[in-house]
Amino acid sequence: MKGRLVLVAAAVGSLVVAGCSSSSSSSSSSSAAAAGGSSASTKACTTSIGIEAPITGPVAPLGTEQLHFAELAVSMDNAANNTKITLVQGDTQLQPAQAVTVTQQFISNSNIVGVVGPAGSQEVEAIGGPMGRAGMAFISGSATAVALTTGSYPTFFRVVSKDSVQGPQDANYIVKTLHPKALMIVDDQEAYSTGLVSAMVPVFQAAGIKVDHESVSQKVTDFSSLVAKVTPADTVVVLPWQIAANAQQFGRDMAQEHKTAVIFGTDGLFSPGTFSISGSYVSSFGPDITAIPADASIAQAAQAKYGTFGTFGPPVFAATHVIDEAIASVCKAGQTPSRANVLAAIKTTNEPTSILGQPISFDSHGDLVNGKFFLFKITPAGKYQLIPS
Amino acid sequence: MSFFFQELVNGITTGALYALVALGFSMVYGVLKLLNFAHGDLYMVGAYIGFFVIQLFGGAADLSIAVPLLLVIMFVVAAGLVGGLGVAIERFAYRPLRDAPRIAPLITAIGVSFFLESSALLLFGAQFRVYNTSEFISLNSGIRIGSVTIDSVQILVLVLGLVLMTGLRMLVNRSRLGKQMRAVAADREAAEMLGINVNFVITATFLLGSALAGIAGVMGGLLFNTVTSTIGFIVGLKAFTAAVVGGIGSIPGAMLGGLVIGVAESMVTGYISSTYTNLIVFGLLIVVMLVRPSGLLGRAQLQKV
């Protein structure tokens, strides 16, 4: 009996902790709302948006960063536009099935007029249909698969470019600058990674480079056996991965086995505190906003509130800002925000500048117009140096 | 040939880790007939404890104590705390269900697994914690024979793993507690009637098995550097498979199963492709189970009818 009481107490304790956690996330929204409502005479523009991100699971560090930047954007936009937008969280764990569940919850919540996310291309493919049927706009800050913007998902938008741009661009850089005769490319068995590999391999093959295509799960952290396969002829190892810590371990295993190949990573590997193998390259769909003077206030606010960050947060800030501005424009036009009028407003987005250092507008399929990628090289001090395009 | 030996070393090192975790699975199953799915999460907790011990002494780059002493403290603290956690889990989550239908403790074990994983996420956050082992144990400090490299951490894992497995085997085979464990595993009710304190034996089993998982967690942290709340899942799955392949309930079987899986993974990755590692390794294991359903070293159970 005593044991059961302790178990019950432990369970209650954990619920209290969980409760504290949720209330802390909603408090950011309410404080933002308070900021937005500072002018009592203005008619309140009150509504909700959802965010789908992998807040737990293997890529939780990326998802948490996305959530933080969405919270920051809502808070700043509420203050700037005198709106009362509340952010509703949905944890997808980067799993399509979980994304579908969260999406159904969002669709059935009539207060939600738009969604930020999801993070992964495979999730977009899972929820694109239901979102389209619900007429709900959703903007991803990291889904880059080419197939997402071929017209199948009419309410989907993204503020980053796509694999068909990044893959060949990165592959061409490797071919022309690093001149490998052979290379190893390792996907992480997720749609993001396999999509990029599919876009890169034809470029390598056309250049006559011998390609050893390998594949490891994101959950694997032991790369010693794989690293043993890196031959002296393999002067480049391409890791289109989402988990920077895994790439760091891959680099350590290479050093331990005296392999000297250069690592070329993408997006998720932009993590100065985690991935710091000197001489490695990282291409990213997002810029390093700490190096953009116009973003100084946002970067400082994010750093002060959440600590260090990579390149997954800023695009989500941009995506959230697009929806926030669409809602504000609807309210300014004297209408009540709905899924239909917010979707229509998003379609006409035309921001001359953004946190990403480039204008934001969408083509008819939801792609970012003139989207670009950024390439960095890691210095011996572990710093990420932008390579001019 | 050197490539073969490099893959063999890598496989045995990983296999030793699987074997240590598999031992806990096997011991608990032996005495309780319970598949403790939370066991992989004890590995995760051990890895976190190792990380925080490093931080306690100034962090990887600026240690305030000698490395051998640090390692001893990491292993002892992880073994003690995770062993204690295992005992608490048994006492509060499994013991009340000891006489319930077998599905109940099984579901509880899954619940405990999620509880531990989510608690770690809440307590330690989503970010990866990194051991940075190479900051205090040089990558060049091991042995190099031709082009085969065995670094110091791999040597540490192999030696400590071997010592622990041998020690556990001796404890189970030669000590009074070990004899009691074997008696409880054979027939709990009969052991109780013979005056054996079954609760004590089960508690001791959880303590030992969990402590091994905690030590394996520190080893994993030193080897693979990265710690998150989810690392226990894949290791737990591999260790469970190792325990079943070796013959669940058999201590030498768990050791053999761990090594078989570690080496098989390494060889398939090296000689075929990492793309097919799980497909081929688990395919082979299915074949093993079809040929020897009780595992490589398991004994067929006689059933009273």
CATH number of the structural domain spanning residue A241:
3.40.50.2300
For A295, the token pair is: 């973003």
Residues A87, A67, single domain; the answer is: yes
State pLDDT tens for residues B34-88: 889 999 999 999 999 999 999 999 999 889 999 999 999 999 999 999 999 999 9
Q: Which of A16, A222, A230, A237 to mutate to test the interface with B (most CBs of B within 10 A)?
A: A222
Does any domain span residue A61? Answer: yes
What distance in Å separates residue B21's CA from the closest CA in chain A? Answer: 16
pLDDT at A140 over 90: yes
State pLDDT tens for residues A346-375: 999 999 999 998 999 999 999 999 888 889
Scanning B167-226 for CB atoms below 8 A from A yields 220, 223-226
As a whole number, the mean pLDDT across chain A is 87
* Single-letter amino acid, residue B94: Y
What distance in Å separates residue B287's CA from the closest CA in chain A? Answer: 23
Residues A48, A157, single domain; the answer is: yes
Mean pLDDT over residues A242-271, rounded? 91
Distance CA B233, CA B114 (A): 10
Residues A277, A316, single domain; the answer is: no
Residues A145, A235, single domain; the answer is: no
Count of A–B CB contacts within 8 Å? Answer: 117
Residues A103, A171, single domain; the answer is: no
Residues A317, A304, single domain; the answer is: yes
Do residues B42 and B244 make contact, with C-beta atoms less than 8 angstroms apart? no
Does any domain span residue A203? Answer: yes
CATH number assigned to the domain covering B2-291: 1.10.3470
What distance in Å separates residue B48's CA from the closest CA in chain A? Answer: 15
Q: Which of A95, A215, A220, A221 to mutate to test the interface with B (most CBs of B within 10 A)?
A: A221
Does any domain span residue A369? Answer: no
Residues A356, A273, single domain; the answer is: no
Distance CA A103, CA A131 (A): 8
Residue of B nearest to A255 (CA): B139
- Within an 8 Å CB–CB cutoff, is residue B14 touching chain A? yes
What is the count of structural domains for chain A? 2
Domain final position from A239, A257, A284: A284
Mean pLDDT over residues A370-387, rounded? 90
Does any domain span residue A326? Answer: yes
- Within an 8 Å CB–CB cutoff, is residue B148 touching chain A? no
Nearest-by-Cβ selection for A3 from B95, B151, B234: B95
pLDDT of residue A40: 35
What distance in Å separates residue A31's CA from the closest CA in chain B? Answer: 23
Domain ranges of chain B: 2-291
Residues A63, A151, single domain; the answer is: yes
Q: Which domain, by its residues, includes A311?
A: 44-161+292-361
Contact criterion met (CB < 8 Å) for A213 and B278: no
Nearest-by-Cβ selection for A219 from B92, B233, B269: B233
Distance CA B221, CA B219 (A): 5
Does any domain span residue A367? Answer: no
Contact criterion met (CB < 8 Å) for B275 and A222: no
Nearest-by-Cβ selection for B139 from A61, A219, A256: A256
As a whole number, the mean pLDDT across chain B is 90
pTM over 0.90: no
- Within an 8 Å CB–CB cutoff, is residue B98 touching chain A? no
State pLDDT tens for residues A15-37: 344 333 333 333 333 333 333 33
For A64, the token pair is: 């948490």
Scored b (16 or more CB within 10 A) or e, A361-383 reads ebeeebbbeebbbbbbbbeeeee
Nearest-by-Cβ selection for A214 from B13, B133, B275: B275
pLDDT at A300 over 90: yes
Distance CA B108, CA B102 (A): 10
pLDDT at B225 over 70: yes
Mean pLDDT over residues B17-30, rounded? 90
- Within an 8 Å CB–CB cutoff, is residue B273 touching chain A? yes
State pLDDT tens for residues B226-252: 898 989 988 998 999 999 999 888 888
Cβ neighbours of B10 in A, within 8 Å: 222, 224-225, 228
Cβ neighbours of B133 in A, within 8 Å: 252
Nearest-by-Cβ selection for A252 from B6, B225, B234: B225
Angle between helices A2-36 and A60-81 (to 10 degrees): 40
pLDDT at A13 over 80: no
Nearest-by-Cβ selection for A229 from B231, B270, B278: B270
Give B301's pLDDT tier (boundaries 50, 70, 90): low
Note every long-range contact of A296-305, with CB atoms under 8 Å and residues 24 or more positions apart, other chains counting: A298/A72, A298/A76, A298/A355, A301/A72, A301/A76, A302/A68, A302/A69, A302/A72, A305/A68, A305/A72
Residues A157, A261, single domain; the answer is: no
Mean pLDDT over residues A136-157, rounded? 93
